[in-house]
A and B are shown apart, each in its own frame.
Chain A
Amino acid sequence: EAQVTQNPRYLITVTGKKLTVTCSQNMNHEYMSWYRQDPGLGLRQIYYSMNVEVTDKGDVPEGYKVSRKEKRNFPLILESPSPNQTSLYFCASSLGTGTYNEQFFGPGTRLTVL
């Protein structure tokens, strides 16, 4: 089944404790992206990747890192999480960046930073 998977689905952590949220897609998609969803703000892009070893900042990149060493994986790294990073995070992928390329979303990771 074609899908985007994220792990973990739920995570409660404390300020300053490094964490990684994994994202994997099995559709051989080139483009991958991370979004955070906050009430009243919709989804905002954190980082995106056009292909392996090609990443760039989105609208809200502060406090986050990403890497793209393999085409299928695009982990989101929080080196020193803070409470303002408590949010619902979505990974998405698409075949390319063209407007006809639908983005497929993972199920989401709900992160709470205490």
Chain B
Amino acid sequence: AQSVTQLGSHVSVSEGALVLLRCNYSSSVPPYLFWYVQYPNQGLQLLLKYTTGATLVKGINGFEAEFKKSETSFHLTKPSAHMSDAAEYFCAVKRAGGTSYGKLTFGQGTILTVHP
């Protein structure tokens, strides 16, 4: 079975500061990893994804994440936070093979607050 753990249900940063949202996964087979963002009263939007190849993945809105197999991690970062980054962020994993049938397994979410 696969699982995702997001460390910290709430993260607060100042505008202009580094954003770091942590995600660790557990999977018996090589995983495909995703970060989604949910703005208030909206659905989920894909920020970035890791499938194969380069382990440093760049996404929209200046976010990036690095897949570290040895640490089973896929942390999300942004060098400089903007007020518009305030949202809830979800890490998710999908199996690379087997009977996954497209299922995404989500972490519990991290609410990012950005202070002026």
Partner-B contacts on A (CB < 8 A): 4, 31, 33, 35, 40-45, 48, 50, 56, 58, 90, 92, 94, 96-103, 105-108
Once bound together, how far apart are the Cα atoms of A58 and B107, in whole Å?
16
- B42 touching A102, Cβ below 8 Å: no
Say how far B52's CB is from chain A's closest CB, in angstroms: 9
Give chain B residues whose Cβ lies under 8 Å from the Cβ of A41: 108
Inter-subunit contact B44/A50 (CB<8 Å): no
User: In chain B, what residue has the closest Cβ to A38?
Assistant: B108
A-B pairs, 9 with minimum CB distance: A97-B102, A42-B106, A105-B43, A99-B32, A105-B44, A43-B106, A42-B108, A107-B43, A31-B102
Complex CA gap A41/B90 in Å reads 11
A107→B44 CA distance, assembly (Å): 8
Q: Are A45 and B43 in contact (CB under 8 A)?
A: no
**Is the beta-carbon distance between B90 and A43 smaller than 8 angstroms?**
yes
Sampled A-B contacts (22; CB under 8 Å): A31-B102, A33-B102, A35-B106, A41-B108, A42-B108, A43-B44, A43-B104, A43-B106, A45-B103, A48-B101, A48-B102, A50-B102, A56-B101, A92-B44, A97-B101, A102-B46, A105-B36, A105-B44, A105-B45, A106-B43, A108-B41, A108-B42
